[in-house]
Amino acid sequence: MTTETEKNLVVGIDVGGTGTKIGIVDANGEILARDESIATPQYSDFNDFVDAMNGVVQRLVKEVGAEGRIRGIGIGAPNANYYAGTIENAPNLPWKGVLELCKVFSEKAGVPVFATNDANAAAIGEMKYGAAKGMKNFIVITLGTGVGSGIVINGQLVYGCDGFAGELGHVTMVRGKEGRKCGCGQTGCLEAYCSATGVARTAKEILKKDKTPSTLRGMKNITSKDVFLAAKKGDKIAKEIFKQTGTMLGEALADFIKFSSPEAIVLFGGLTKSGKYILDPVKKAVDKNVMPIFKGKAQILISQLKDSDAAILGASALAWE
């Protein structure tokens, strides 16, 4: 027999700068139907974008026979504010200013809509279905175009006084004039070194200084995948890129551990595909930079969720709460 609760479903949406992914999710975290057809930048008008999302949601609902069973919609989006239900001045989205995402969408869809930023959504996804299942204190670090974070303390996501807590990609790692410029307007941010573009910049710098032969030499727009493939073949420059990137990431994680003493830090995103090449220097730097009471405590884990699943599942979990 299916109970009323088991019949309930939610929608999870991952709004990204390039594409928007939508899924219908059941109480067990199964994605019953999904759509990845919406190209975010094609919608210059925000209302049209919400209509497009709503159109896909209604179509998927019909596909799985879920009419009347959708309890709510959860959205992960850049610069989304959980408290206000808004997207605020997101640099990578086509619409400027403060957008009343949840209010507008909820009126169209007829169900409650909740939103948070993508890293927070990933953290909720890891807690409900991933590497942080059952944990009450952990941090998710998303390593993508930018570096984001979702922090869970005492089993609750940390939103802070204004909904904007957890901007760990922008802690200052290099102080003074030597710090790289970051997209946020500051210099020396973690994101300027450990994001996809950060890794590419590090590669460029090392290739310029170190004349060791490398398959990366002459490549344009070096990605962490390029560096990984080169490192696997024993490329010394590639290994050095991972060493510098991982060491700085580990130094940052050590400071985060001193803040909230988490059970684990879950790394998420493209860079983690490089496995031990990035993990080994991270772990070494964490261990070197924490005090004795913290040594060997916080596990450094790699997300086990598929990138696309984690974003949809995490966002959907907002609607269950």
Q: How far is the CB of 105 from a copy of itself (least distance, A)?
A: 23
Residue 301 · residue 267 · CB < 8 Å:
yes
Q: Which of 36, 100, 251, 280 binds a copy of itself (CB under 8 A)?
A: 251
Tokens 């939508």 — which residue? 22
Q: Measured between alpha carbons, how far is 139 from 263 in angstroms, rounded to an integer?
A: 9
Nearest one of 264, 317, 309, 267 to 116, comparing CA atoms: 317
* Size, binding site for a copy of itself by CB under 8 A: 45
**Residue among 65 and 185 whose Cβ is closer to a copy of itself:** 185
Residues 173-232 that bind a copy of itself (CB under 8 A): 173, 175, 184-186
Report residue 260 as tokens. Answer: 């909230």
What track of x and - describes contact with a copy of itself for positions 29 through 68 (by CB under 8 A)?
Answer: ----------------------------------------
The reply to whether 287 sits near a copy of itself by the rule CB under 8 A is no
The reply to whether 80 sits near a copy of itself by the rule CB under 8 A is no
The reply to whether 259 sits near a copy of itself by the rule CB under 8 A is yes
Q: How far is the CB of 290 from a copy of itself (least distance, A)?
A: 8
Question: Which residue type does 138 have?
Answer: F
Q: Which of 58, 172, 223, 304 binds a copy of itself (CB under 8 A)?
A: 172
Q: Measured between alpha carbons, how far is 209 from 146 in angstroms, rounded to an integer?
A: 25
Output the CA torsion sign for 65, 71, 72, 74.
negative
Q: Measured between alpha carbons, how far is 174 from 190 in angstroms, rounded to an integer?
A: 8
What track of x and - describes contact with a copy of itself for positions 116 through 155 (by CB under 8 A)?
Answer: -------------------xxx-------------x-xx-
Q: Which of 53, 254, 310, 315 binds a copy of itself (CB under 8 A)?
A: 254
The reply to whether 95 sits near a copy of itself by the rule CB under 8 A is no
Q: Which of 46, 256, 268, 277 binds a copy of itself (CB under 8 A)?
A: 256
Residue 80 · residue 114 · CB < 8 Å:
no
Q: Measured between alpha carbons, how far is 56 from 12 in angstroms, rounded to an integer?
A: 12
**Residue among 82 and 277 whose Cβ is closer to a copy of itself:** 82
Q: Which of 209, 233, 291, 296 binds a copy of itself (CB under 8 A)?
A: 291
Count Cβ atoms below 10 Å from residue 108 Cβ, excluding itself.
16
* H or E element, residue 193: helix 191-194
What's the chain's Rg over C-alpha atoms?
A: 20
Question: Which residue type does 219 have?
Answer: M
Question: Which residue type does 300 have?
Answer: I
**Residue among 255 and 280 whose Cβ is closer to a copy of itself:** 255
Q: Which of 8, 92, 197, 289 binds a copy of itself (CB under 8 A)?
A: 289
**Residue among 41 and 155 whose Cβ is closer to a copy of itself:** 155
Q: Which of 26, 88, 100, 307 binds a copy of itself (CB under 8 A)?
A: 88
The reply to whether 171 sits near a copy of itself by the rule CB under 8 A is yes
What is the DSSP annotation of 1-45? Answer: ---HHHH-EEEEEEE-SSEEEEEEEETTS-EEEEEEEEEGGG--S
The reply to whether 159 sits near a copy of itself by the rule CB under 8 A is yes
Report residue 230 as tokens. Answer: 């080169």
For binding to a copy of itself (CB under 8 A), which residues are involved?
88-89, 135-137, 151, 153-154, 156, 158-168, 170-173, 175, 184-186, 251, 254-256, 258-263, 289, 291-294, 297-298
